[in-house]
Amino acid sequence: MTIERTLLYLEAGAKGTAPLIEAVLKRVQEDDLSSVVVASTKGKTALKLGEALKGAAGVVSVTEFTYGSDIKKAMKKLKIAAVEKADLPIQDRREMREALEIFGAGVKAALEVVSIAAEKGLVEGRTVAVAGTKGGLDTALVVRAAKPEDFGNPDPEKRIAVLEILALPKP
């Protein structure tokens, strides 16, 4: 059976956040997706996502910085796993970074944070990867998670892969 899906083209940044979260919640509820990984610089968008999902899926928030103590407390209360001071494995791979950025910064960031979460053992298999721009969320992908060291794995089933595109920012 094929489920019809709609690709959302969202306003970049904060205007896209609410419809993206709604689409992610709907997608998680209709399938066996048990985790969502979000690129969240300060943690605020991760909290919005965690509040909306309310246990429908585990949430992992990834940042290259650190979260404030109030954000960390709120994440703990919502059972959001936080990864701070993350090294960015795609950022240093120029060809890969530039190729992914053709599709938008959110696609690169979403794949990057899901690979970080996989490396930390927080996700595996099919998961939702979320990112955005300008303080909001506007990109959501269903991906096969993989650790950075598996990006070039000779077995294609062990590499990271985009399985579905749920949302992208408007061009």
Which stretches of the chain drop beneath a pLDDT of 70?
1-3
Exposure string over 38-60, b if 16+ CB within 10 A, otherwise e: bbbbebbbbbbbbebbeeebbbb
Structural domain contains residue 82: yes
For 10, phi then psi, to 5°, come to: -105, 155
Q: Domain for residue 119, yes or no?
A: yes
Whether residue 1 lies inside any domain: the answer is: no
pLDDT of residue 3: 62
Q: What is the CATH number of the domain that holds 124?
A: 3.40.1380.20
User: Do 10 and 167 meet the contact criterion of CB atoms below 8 Å apart?
Assistant: yes
Report the C-alpha gap between 62 and 40 in whole angstroms. 6
Spatial CB neighbours of 91, under 8 Å, sequence gap ≥ 6: 97, 112
According to the model, what pLDDT value does residue 55 have? 86
Q: How many domains does the chain have?
A: 1
Report yes or no on 2 lying in a domain. no
Distances (CA, A) of 155 to 47, 102, 147, 148, 150: 36, 25, 13, 14, 9
Q: From CA 122, how far away is CA 134, in angstroms rounded?
A: 26
Domain containing 43 equals: 8-169
Classify residue 83: in a domain, yes or no.
Answer: yes
- Residues with Cβ within 8 Å of 166's Cβ and at least 6 positions away in sequence, in order, are 5, 7, 8, 20, 23, 24, 27, 128, 140, 141, 142
pTM of the model as a whole: 0.95
d(CA 65, CA 40): 10
Q: Decide if 1 contacts 23 (C-beta within 8 A).
A: no
Q: What is the pLDDT of residue 43?
A: 97
DSSP bridge partners of 36: 59, 128
Q: What is the pLDDT at residue 127?
A: 98
**Inter-residue contact 97 to 91 (CB < 8 Å):** yes
C-alpha 96/C-alpha 112 separation (Å) is 11
